[in-house]
Amino acid sequence: MPPSAPLPDLKQVPLRPPAQIMRLARMGSFFATRLSFMRVLVRELMTGGWTVARPLFDIDAVGYGTAVYRVSRPGRSYSLVAFSHELAPELRTDRVIAEAWDATFALCDGEPDAGEIERLRQNVPRQEAGRYRASDIVLCRANRSLRYFDHVAERLAVGLQPDAALTREVGYLMRTTAVYGNGKFGIADRSRIEGRAELAGPFQAEMLAVYLVRLFTLDLVEHVARAKAPGTAIALAPGIRRYIGIGNATGLGMAPFLMTHPVLIGNWMLARETALARVRAVAVMGGRTRRRLGELLLRARQHVSQWRVADPRQSARIVELESDLARLGEKIADATPDGLYRWAENHLGLEAQELVVSLLIEIFPELVDELARHMAAPEANRFDPAMQMVDFRHILERDYDWALRIDCTDPRQRARFWYVSEEKLEPRLGNRHEEPGAELERPFAIAHDIQALHRALQAEDPRQTLAVFLMRQPQFRHSVRRAQIVARHPYGEIRDNLVGEACLPIDLLRCKLSFFGASKFDPKSDRWTRIAMYQGAPFPSDLASPDADDWAFPVLP
C-alpha cells in the first residue's frame, strides 16, 4: 500500500473535530505518541533487518576527530559522518546564526570512502556555508551541554557515575541546533529518497541522523573519560546510558512549516486522531491491557515528576498535570478507553487530556501502528478553478468561521508579523507597531486574509467561477488555494490568529516536536524551547529485545 492510500476503515468513534484539536492551546499540550517519527524509525530499525556499526572512530584524547556510524542491511546502507571540533566558548550559541559548533554531521547515502570523507570535512564543519551533493541526505550540528558533558567525562574518569540530579535535569550530552534535510544547500531532495520504504515516512532520514548522533555523543564521552584516566575510567551504567538522549534547541525556524504544509499537517493530525478514535471504540479492555495501562500511567507520572523547567508557565502546567494524573489513577480500574478519555476531557487540564491520548494510543499498537504509513503526503498545489463563488463562500464560512469571528479592527489582533531575516534566512516574528519589515511579512495573517477574501466575495456574482475572480483579484489566490486544501484536509489549518498579540509560537513548536517524538519540553521564551530526543530509546544492541519499542515516557532509574 502506498503511504498516501486512504485509511483502512476500522471501527472507530467519531473523530474529535478540528475546531477542538487545531487550537494552539491544545496543540501546545501534545505529547509524543507511538506514531511519533522517532518511534516509527526505531520500529523500522527493529524489524527491517538493520545492523549498526562504527567503522571509524578516529577521535583524540580530548574528543576531537572524525567518526563514522553505518546503518545497513543487504542492498542499502547509510552513514553518519561525524566531525568533533574544538570550539571557543565565545562562539558557542544554540542560535541558527551561529557559525561554529562542537560537532557537525552529515548522513550520507551508502558508505563514504576516504575521498568522500575528506570532501565532507571541507564542508560539513561550515554547515550552511558549505556545499553538498545529492548523496548527502541530512546535515546537522550539535553543541555540548556545558553543564553536563564535562561533568560526565570527569565522573566516569574517576570511576563514578554522573550525578543523578544533574542527569535528570539535563538528560543529554549534546544539543542539536539545526537538522537540515530535503535539498538544503545541495543535499538530496526528499523526492530522491521517499520511494525507499525505510525513509518514506515524514522526517525519517532526519530521525535516523539524530539517532546516530546520540550514539556518537555517548561513545564520545566515554572515550574522553577513558583517555583522561585509562586506569580508573568506567562506562556509563546501562540504565543511565539508556536514559541519556540527545538534546535540541529550537526556535521559530520550525514554526512556519506548520503553516506552509497544510496537507502534511492534516495527515499527521488525522493519523493521530484516527488512532485515538479506534482505541476509544474498544468496548472491553482486557486485564493484560489494563495492567499495561496502569504500568504506563505510573511511568508517565514518574516521567512528569522528573520534568522540571525554569519557565513559570510550563512549571505551573506541570504542577497541574501531576495533580491531574494522580486523579486519573483512580479511574483506570474499570473504565473503558472511551470512558477514560471522556472523563479526562471533562475533568482534567489540556496537558493531562493529551497525555491520556498518548497513553491510550500506546497500549493498542495493533490498532495504531499501521497509521504511521499514512502520514506522508505530497503538498497539492492545484485547486479547483471551476468552483462557483456561492460554493466557495459556503466552504469558507464553514471552515473559517473562527477566522471570520476575529475583530480585525483591533490592533492587538494584528500585533505581529512573520518574516525571514537576511541573517541565515532565519524565520522571525516581529512587532508590527514597533519594528520595520512588515511589508515583507509572510502570508501567515491567515485569519485577516480570509476576512478580506470573504468581504471581496460579497461583491461578486455568486455564479462566477474562481478562475475569473482570481484573474481579476490575484491577491486572494493563495487564500483561495488554502481554503480549498483545508476543505479536503480539515486538520490542516490552525484555527487561531497567528499574528495576534495572544499567539504563543511555543505552542506551534511543541506540536511539531511532539510529532517528532520529543519529550521534556523546556521553553526558554515564548518562541524558543529545548527538548530531549531519544531518551530511553533502545541502542542497536537492544533492538532485538521484545520490549525494545517500550520507551514512551522515559524515566531515569
Find the binding residues for another protein in span 134-163 (CB under 8 A). Answer: 134, 143, 145-147
Closest CA to 355 of 340, 368, 365, 339: 340
Cite the beta strand spans of 145-286 per DSSP E. 172-180, 245-250
C-alpha cell at 338: 472511551
User: Mind giving me the DSSP string for 355-412?
Assistant: HHHHHHHHT-HHHHGGGGGGS--PPP----TT-BHHHHHHHHHHH-HHHHTS-TTSGG
Q: Does 256 bind another protein (CB under 8 A)?
A: no
Which of 154, 163, 169, 526 binds another protein (CB under 8 A)? It is 526
H-helix or E-strand spanning residue 429: strand 427-431
Which of 23, 76, 121, 190 binds another protein (CB under 8 A)? It is 190
Min dist CB 540 to another protein, Å, is 30
- CB-side exposure of 397: number of CA atoms within 13 Å? 10
Stretch that binds another protein, among 28-36, 68-76, 292-300, 472-480 (CB under 8 A): 472-480
Q: Kindly calculate the radius of gyration of the chain based on its CA atoms and give it in whole angstroms.
A: 24
**SS3 state of residue 296:** helix
Min dist CB 441 to another protein, Å, is 9
- Eight-class DSSP state of 12: -
Find the binding residues for another protein in span 193-252 (CB under 8 A). Answer: 249, 251-252
Q: Which is nearer to another protein, 2 or 286 (CB)?
A: 2
Instruction: Match 553505518 to its residue by C-alpha cell.
Output: 70
Find the binding residues for another protein in span 22-81 (CB under 8 A). Answer: none
Q: Which is nearer to another protein, 34 or 416 (CB)?
A: 416
Min dist CB 66 to another protein, Å, is 24
Which of 20, 122, 191, 305 binds another protein (CB under 8 A)? It is 191
Q: Does 463 bind another protein (CB under 8 A)?
A: no
C-alpha cell at 337: 478507553
Min dist CB 446 to another protein, Å, is 11
C-alpha cell at 36: 511519533
Cα distances (angstroms) measured from residue 307 to each of 23, 289, 355: 24, 26, 14
Min dist CB 543 to another protein, Å, is 31
Which of 3, 48, 65, 253 binds another protein (CB under 8 A)? It is 253
Which of 500, 505, 536, 538 binds another protein (CB under 8 A)? It is 505
Find the binding residues for another protein in span 283-302 (CB under 8 A). Answer: none
Which of 48, 65, 186, 349 binds another protein (CB under 8 A)? It is 186
Question: Which x/- pattern, by CB under 8 A, does the window 375-414 give for another protein?
Answer: ------xx-xxx----------------------------
Q: Does 133 bind another protein (CB under 8 A)?
A: yes
Min dist CB 506 to another protein, Å, is 8
Give ∠ CA 376-379-382 in degrees, rounded to 5. Answer: 145
From the centroid of its chain, how far is CA 62? Answer: 32
52 neighbors 70 (Cβ within 8 angstroms): yes
Q: Does 419 bind another protein (CB under 8 A)?
A: yes
C-alpha cell at 380: 497539492
